[in-house]
């Protein structure tokens, strides 16, 4: 049997997650009291949104030492540096491999912000390798300390998923050709719809560290697109695992002397979910491949994104967009190539994001329905996947709702047809 390079990468990751992050271990981190089981269904995934009110700290939440140990192991294995170029001490993988890793993380319900760490550490190493903020993040990884990443919601309000009182919080924003990085003290937060993940609001924070560095718009937009695709990949992994559980149950559960999976009402629904998720995976694969500069017109135009430069130690630094070359020729062609790269990549990424969210929402709902009354109980594992899908959909919809995505697809498609 032949093995690809991806198999050699993914098999150890799959084994590690199966051994160190099984659902039994995650369940053991939850309180014995079943109060968290209330409201298992939550809001409809299509309308999922971040909580608007304050989230009170609650002792009835996950056991931090279990997740602390798990995160320390991930740091020792180098997972947060999978996207960091080899020139900066990372592993130097590309987005096609990163989305596969995040799909495995989603299928294991990994309750840690691995995708955000992978993308942020790569971005900082590319743009500001020796800045205070990049060195701070490196120290966190070296020490196995987990940091939270805040999402801006309003002028002075930040939503913080995966928060813990002993974990500092990083937020990045872009304005006027600069990235503004800020670090705040950690907050306790409390359990949200997903009992494995603590969330909280950071209002009018006192910054412990502040830094800023120059960054062109193409690199920032590429960073945000990578972040969205990694979340989408995690969502796809969650839904795929829920479908696998439902399919296994449908083969085992007997009714009228036959497995319930033999009835058309169930097997056709599960088959359709498999088709929808597989189609979504194909779009995600295309989107991830389109984020590799070598696969776009950027290379021909002479413009390289920083992550491509980092993978080659001898690669010369590309001049910033709009600057003059030594022979006096403006970098206009590179600016056009960068804008075209972002437009093309954004279109494919939005289509993948939208398709994955629809397919995942349907798959987890159907997985719960296949289990019948058992699916509504705390003891049945499938509700954890449903809740994780709600959580990830809310994260995806925070900045880009379904209506926003469809409008953007329409606009980008029109622009593409006009070329």
Domains of the chain: 1-23+65-215 (1.10.540.10), 221-293+334-418 (1.20.140.10)
Of 109-118, 179-188, 318-327, 364-373, give the lowest mean pLDDT range. 318-327
Which of 35 and 20 is assigned the larger pLDDT?
20
Element (H, E) at 248: helix 217-252
- Within 13 Å and on the Cβ side, how many CA atoms surround 177? 4
Q: How does residue 197 score in pLDDT terms, banded at 50, 70 and 90?
A: very high
- 115: nearest Cα among 166, 69, 161: 161
- 2, containing H or E segment: none
DSSP 197-241: -EEEEEES--EEEEEEEE--HHHHHHHHHHHHHHHHHHHHHHHHH
Contact 126, 139 (CB under 8 A): no
CA separation for the pair 388, 235 (Å, rounded): 8
Crossing angle of helices 5-20 and 64-77, rounded to 10°:
160
CA distances (Å), origin 398, targets 164, 228, 394? 21, 11, 6
Q: How confident is the model at residue 3 (pLDDT cuts 50, 70, 90)?
A: low
Q: Which of the four pLDDT bands, split at 50, 70 and 90, describes residue 56?
A: very low
Distance between CA atoms of 155 and 204, rounded to whole angstroms?
A: 9
C-alpha–C-alpha distance, residues 295 and 311, integer Å: 15
Name the residue with higher pLDDT: 10 or 35: 10
d(CA 316, CA 128): 16
Can you tell me whether residue 187 is helix, strand or coil?
coil
Model confidence at 313: pLDDT above 70:
no
Alpha helices in 321-397 (DSSP H): 332-370, 382-397
CA 336 to CA 301: how far, in whole Å?
Answer: 9
- What does the mean pLDDT of the chain come to? 83
Question: What pLDDT, on the 0 to 100 scale, is given for residue 310?
Answer: 44
DSSP one-letter string for 278-329: HHHHHHHHHHHHHTSGGGSTHHHHT---HHHHHT-TTPPPPPPTTPBPTTS-
pLDDT at residue 309 in the model: 46
Task: Name the residue with higher pLDDT: 418 or 105.
Answer: 105
pLDDT digits (tens, 9 = 90+) for 214-235: 999 999 999 999 999 999 999 9
Residue with the bigger pLDDT between 404 and 64: it is: 404
Question: Alpha-carbon distance 160 to 151, whole Å?
Answer: 6
What pLDDT does 300 receive?
44
Counting residues of the chain whose pLDDT is more than 70, the rounded percentage is 79
DSSP bridge partners of 179: 174, 213
Cα gap 403→13, rounded to integer Å: 36
Does residue 40 contact residue 376 with C-beta atoms inside 8 Å?
yes
Tokens representing residue 397 in the block: 């919809």
Q: Are 372 and 178 in contact (CB under 8 A)?
A: no
pLDDT in tens, 154-192: 666 789 999 888 889 999 999 989 999 999 998 888 888
Query: Which residue's structure tokens are 């992994």?
Result: 237
Is residue 103 within 8 A of residue 233, CB to CB? The reply is: yes
Check: CB of residue 71 under 8 Å from CB of residue 144. yes
CB 122 within 8 A of CB 94: no
Round to whole Å and give the CA distance between 42 and 361. 13
């Amino acid at each position: 049997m032949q093995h690809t390079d991806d198999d050699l990468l993914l098999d150890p990751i799959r084994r590690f997650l199966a051994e160190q992050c099984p659902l039994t271990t995650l369940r053991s981190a939850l309180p014995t009291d079943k109060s968290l089981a209330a409201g298992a269904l939550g809001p409809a995934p299509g309308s999922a949104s971040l909580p608007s009110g304050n989230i009170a700290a609650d002792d009835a939440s996950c056991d931090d030492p279990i997740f602390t140990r798990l995160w320390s192991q991930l740091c020792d294995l180098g997972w947060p540096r999978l996207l960091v170029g080899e020139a900066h001490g990372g592993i130097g993988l590309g987005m096609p491999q990163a989305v596969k890793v995040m799909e495995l993380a989603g299928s294991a319900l990994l309750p840690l912000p691995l995708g955000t760490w992978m993308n942020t550490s790569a971005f900082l190493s590319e743009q500001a390798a020796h800045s205070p903020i990049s060195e701070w993040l490196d120290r966190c990884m070296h020490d196995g300390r987990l940091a939270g990443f805040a999402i801006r919601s309003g002028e002075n309000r930040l939503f913080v998923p995966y928060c813990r009182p002993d974990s500092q919080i990083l937020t990045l924003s872009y304005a006027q050709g600069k990235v503004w990085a800020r670090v705040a003290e950690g907050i306790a937060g409390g359990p949200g719809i997903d009992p494995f993940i603590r969330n909280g609001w950071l209002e009018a924070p006192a910054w412990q560290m502040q830094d800023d560095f120059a960054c062109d718009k193409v690199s920032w937009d590429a960073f945000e697109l990578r972040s969205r695709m990694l979340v989408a990949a995690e969502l796809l992994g969650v839904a795929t695992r829920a479908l696998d559980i439902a399919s296994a149950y449908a083969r085992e559960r007997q009714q009228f002397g036959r497995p319930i999976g033999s009835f058309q009402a169930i097997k056709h629904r599960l088959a359709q979910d498999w088709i929808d998720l597989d189609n979504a995976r194909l779009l995600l694969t295309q989107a991830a491949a389109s984020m590799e500069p070598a696969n776009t017109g950027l290379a021909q135009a002479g413009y390289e994104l920083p992550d491509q430069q980092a993978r080659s130690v001898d690669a010369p630094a590309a001049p910033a967009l709009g600057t003059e070359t030594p022979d006096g020729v403006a970098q206009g062609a590179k600016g056009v190539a960068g804008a075209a790269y972002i437009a093309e990549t954004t279109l494919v990424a939005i289509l993948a994001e939208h398709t994955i969210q629809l397919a995942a929402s349907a798959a987890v709902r159907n997985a719960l329905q296949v289990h019948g009354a058992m699916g509504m109980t705390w003891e049945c594992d499938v509700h954890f996947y449903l809740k994780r899908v709600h959580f990830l959909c809310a994260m995806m919809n925070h900045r880009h709702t379904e209506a926003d995505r469809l409008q953007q697809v329409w606009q980008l498609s029109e622009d593409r047809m006009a070329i």
